[in-house]
Amino acid sequence: MGSANKPTPIPTQEEDLPNPTVALLSFSTDASSNPPRKATATTVLFISLILITCVALSAAVAFAFLFFSSPTSKPYSNESNQTFESIVQVARPLTKLNHSVVLLISSDGFRFGYQFKTSTPNIGRLIDNGTEAERGLIPVFPTLTFPNHYSIVTGLYPAYHGIINNHFVDPYTGESFTMGSHEPKWWLGEPLWETIANHGLKAATYFWPGSEVNKGSWTCPVNYCRNYNGSVPFEERVDTVLQYFDLPSSEIPVFMTLYFEDPDHQGHQVGPDDPEITEAVARIDGMIGRLIEGLEKRGVFEDVHIIMVGDHGMVGTCDKKLIYLDDLAPWIDIPKDWVHSYSPLLAIRPPADFSPSDVVMKMNEGLKSGKFENGKNLKMYLKEELPSRLHYMASDRIPPIIGLVEEGFKVEQKRSNRKECGGAHGYDNDFFSMRTVFIGHGPKFARGQKSFHESEYDARQHGFN
């Protein structure tokens, strides 16, 4: 799928998460006490599925008004300012299924705007007859694959669900998290499939970060949970999901996931503006068409809630936009073993006998000196001094020093003769290039709704001079 102070110990149990009110969603999905009747559980789960999927990826809560509205929240609509109550009034009754089904689809790296690169009649059909984030969906920071996918299904920022990067190091044990780490200790919070299993209902996951982890009542059941294998053809993935709708109605999972690596795969290789991206987008649209056709043949298309999202956007990078840490030597030496990640999120954990604040001060002194190539395109922070809108502080897994890299620039340790042009993501989620898509289609989505919620930080400067 997508290409690591003296803190208190890292919580390894979800009940140890600090202050849940700072999560993207403030309600609890804990089903351990007073479990509701099955019919009630299904209703609660459906609302949870919609709320978490819509809200979790957007640090600005950009589209929460589709399903939740408070007196102080004034959503933008091209037709009217609709509250939760007015939207659900347009909900259509199920015609064939006897319970609500949510199918969550991720197209990795589907930057907002890709849908206009070529004819996308099937994605367009979902948009025209459903609900769309008109100006794109704002991912959580860092705008990387694993943090964002797990935020989508938990409703938590990465600092609270524990997956703070695609790769990181536990500062206490020295163990490394990779995209193949399936031990529950890494994955905090409660993902949707676990919530569903805890209620005695069925979920099915066809690839999703965290779905292979045994948590709570979720054991990655055979035939309902697929271990990641990027070589599986997209057509086979779609057809497998369709087969779930051939089960007896009571056996159809209430929640399903479907994951495609494209167009992220192409984006990293050639950047966001290459014809390969256009081809990849057309292929994704074809897979959506294959899915719609299969659901229509089974007579359930209008009954299924299809939610299509991406996890982040993409921006072009090239050799001329490089920042070399070794060039900081006149001000401070940053050894390679201090650096936990380079680009687009620079994360540094110096040894205990070095003051993080001194390191930040000296690095910024060099970067601002005017004698450092591209220095103005990198700004260093103590993590507790990062802009609060990033919500990237409250985990000991986050190294104490974080560098925010300007859009399209990359950080490397030293100069080399390697030549490279391609694409990257992971940057500040304030950049429009990091936005992705949100599309919802189904009985509880308003038809033709174009939505955007102005967040307070959309117009805010991201800190570069």
**Catalytic (active-site) positions:** 145
Cα-based distances in Å from 396 to 11, 103, 161, 180, 423: 9, 34, 12, 21, 30
CA distance 462 to 413: 24
CA distance 198 to 14: 14
CA distance 22 to 305: 28
The DSSP-derived string for 47-83 is HHHHHHHHHHT-TT-TTGGGT---TT---EESS----
Long-range contacts of 114-121 (CB under 8 A, 24+ apart): 114/263, 114/272, 114/277, 114/281, 114/437, 115/281, 115/437, 117/277, 117/278, 117/281, 118/278, 118/281, 118/282, 118/285, 119/282, 119/285, 120/281, 120/282, 120/285, 121/285, 121/289
Burial (Cβ within 10 Å: 0-12, 13-18, ≥19) of residue 417: exposed
Cα-based distances in Å from 371 to 259, 296, 366, 411, 416: 46, 63, 8, 17, 20
